[in-house]
Amino acid sequence: MGIKIISTGNKLPKHVVYNNELAAFLDTSDEWIASKTGILSRNICTDESLTDLAVEAANIALTKAGLLPEDIDMFICPTISGDYSMPSMACCILERLGVKRPAFDINAACSGFIYSLDVADSFIRAGKAKYILIIAAEMMSRVVDWQDRSTCILFGDGACACVVTAGDSLKYIRTIADAQIAPLYTQAGRGSSPFLKINEPSPFLQMQGQQVYKFAVKTIESEIHFALDALNMQANDVDYFILHQANTRIIDGARSRLKLPPEKFPMNIQKYGNMSAASVPILLNEMLEEERIKKGDTILMMGFGAGMTAGTAVMVWE
């Protein structure tokens, strides 16, 4: 027996930033951002910490599952933008929830949620945990340069928690890393070492957009085919492809190459932008709340991002 997701919960910052607000201090426009990315707005933290968002999302998911924090055996937090370099975001969440359990972060960038599902599946199959809480939480507003119009327009903040336990929902999962750093990275600071002979790097996210686009579209197509072949399925057998919300052009490009209709590729990037590891579970939660996903539906979830990493999971919803 593998795993299933029994509840989800989202928490977004209360402040919404629309494209025309960015145009007030960047050489851009609402029309340009919308046409190039599909993004109309994003939620940005003001007086919230990422821990605040993550704890609220965790409490929502726990309440839906009818569980208390002490019922959870392990806490996993996929993130690249935690409130501290150390301790982990997972430990920050644990402190606020008032429990002591194994807790750790996963840095697989935008693929982090799928990587976390893979880890949770392994622990539950091994009998080392009954309930695992995955809390995908990202404050991308803290890693972008707000004077760089090529990157800051793309990202938003948010958190989603999922309670995972034993079940037969997960039919397939695969994670990969293509080992390319240059297309997308944020370099760590150098500290104040008097011995260092390397120039101080930029602390902000750096991205080569065309390389990211090519990797994403190619990888979405190849990994979806890999999953379908492994399950002896056709693309039309999948009810929804819940992909990382990076750019509408990436999703539309992959969809057209797969020759599938738009209704199989739900999107919320227009409202939230790219939320890195949190984007896939936040979209999943929205679809569950809207009752768009029903028992027996086949869901293919996929993340792709810095590393370059990718992860694909196929679930039949229980």
* Amino acid found at 158: G
Q: What is the DSSP string of 115-160?
A: HHHHHHHHHHHTTS-SEEEEEEEEEGGGTS-TT-TTTGGGB-EEEE
For this structure, is 77 an active site residue?
A: no
Cβ(274)–Cβ(155) below 8 Å? yes
Amino acid at 48: E
Using alpha carbons, select from 127, 199, 187, 168 the residue that is nearest to residue 3. 168
- Tell me which of 110, 152, 160, 162 is the catalytic residue: 110
Which among 19, 244, 247, 285 is annotated as catalytic? 244
110 in active site: yes
* Among 107, 247, 274, 285, the one annotated catalytic: 274
Active-site annotation holds for 225: no
Q: How many CA atoms lie within 13 A of 33 on its CB side?
A: 27
Asked whether the beta carbons of 248 and 267 are under 8 A apart, the reply is yes
Q: Which residues contact 54 (CB under 8 A, 6 or more apart)?
A: 11, 77, 89, 92, 93, 135, 137, 159, 161
Coil, helix or strand at residue 47: coil
Q: In 99-124, which positions are buried (b, 16+ CB within 10 angstroms) versus exposed (e)? A: eebebebbbbbbbbbbbbbbbbbebb
Angstrom distance (rounded) from CA 90 to CA 204:
23
87/80 Cα distance (integer angstroms): 13
Which positions are annotated as active-site residues? 110, 244, 274
